[in-house]
A and B are shown apart, each in its own frame.
Chain A
Amino acid sequence: QSALTQPASVSGSPGQSITISCTGTSSDVGSYNLVSWYQQHPGKAPKFMIYEVSKRPSGVSNRFSGSKSGNTASLTISGLQAEDEADYYCCSYASSSPFVFGTGTKVTVL
């Protein structure tokens, strides 16, 4: 099972919106609404940000939103803040694995 494809880096200025893509196949992202997203600051454990494509766990800012179209899921961060600078990973249920993570995206706040 190959990793889901994410851009290596995305950047934006404070207050802007950015979107991180997560591209899989019809065997994972395209077939299941079990896409989740994780934020990881350097040296820290990942934090659960989005589940089932677009749902936010309690305590996660509504500046974070998720969506999916075909084999590609997306995470949008609105009103970008300095504290959003981190690595972000998507994850999908997969027919063969059963889980596969994305390659990870480094978000830089300019």
Chain B
Amino acid sequence: EVQLVESGGGLVEPGGSLRLSCAASGLTFSNAWMSWVRQAPGKGLEWVGRIKSKIDGGTTDYAAPVKGKFTISRDDSSNTLYLHMNSLKIEDTAVYYCTTGAGDFDNWGQGTLVTVSS
């Protein structure tokens, strides 16, 4: 059974930075394409970005609102996905989910809440 466990969320001031982690198990992580999806309070789902497996190039793609602010990385030796978030704004407040999949999102973590507020 695939398990994805996010951590690292919390309260951060506008302009601040935060790093989220996603620990994966039950899958061959190095072969997995991984994405981050977020959900603002009371709002819908929003794709944030993805990272391909290293064998498929290891490249990243980002949604327009976070391009240049957020960086996705992976550590295949520890089966961990990261989301590095800089220059955070109030509108980045959301639950951030880690997901697996190339053309869709077949496994989801429980999410971690990021609150950007002064």
Contact = CB atoms under 8 A, between A and B. Distances in A.
B97 A101 contact: no
Given A34-B103, A52-B103, A47 B47 contact: no
A98 B46 CA distance: 12
Contacts of A89: 44-45
Contacts of A52: 103-104
A51 B44 contact: no
Interface string A45-80: 111100110000100000000000000000000000
B44 A45 contact: no
A93 B61 CA distance: 13
A36 interface: yes
B56 interface: no
Interface stretch (B8-16, B77-85, B108-116): B108-116
Interface in B10-68: 35, 37, 44-47, 50, 61, 63-64
B15 to A, nearest CB: 26
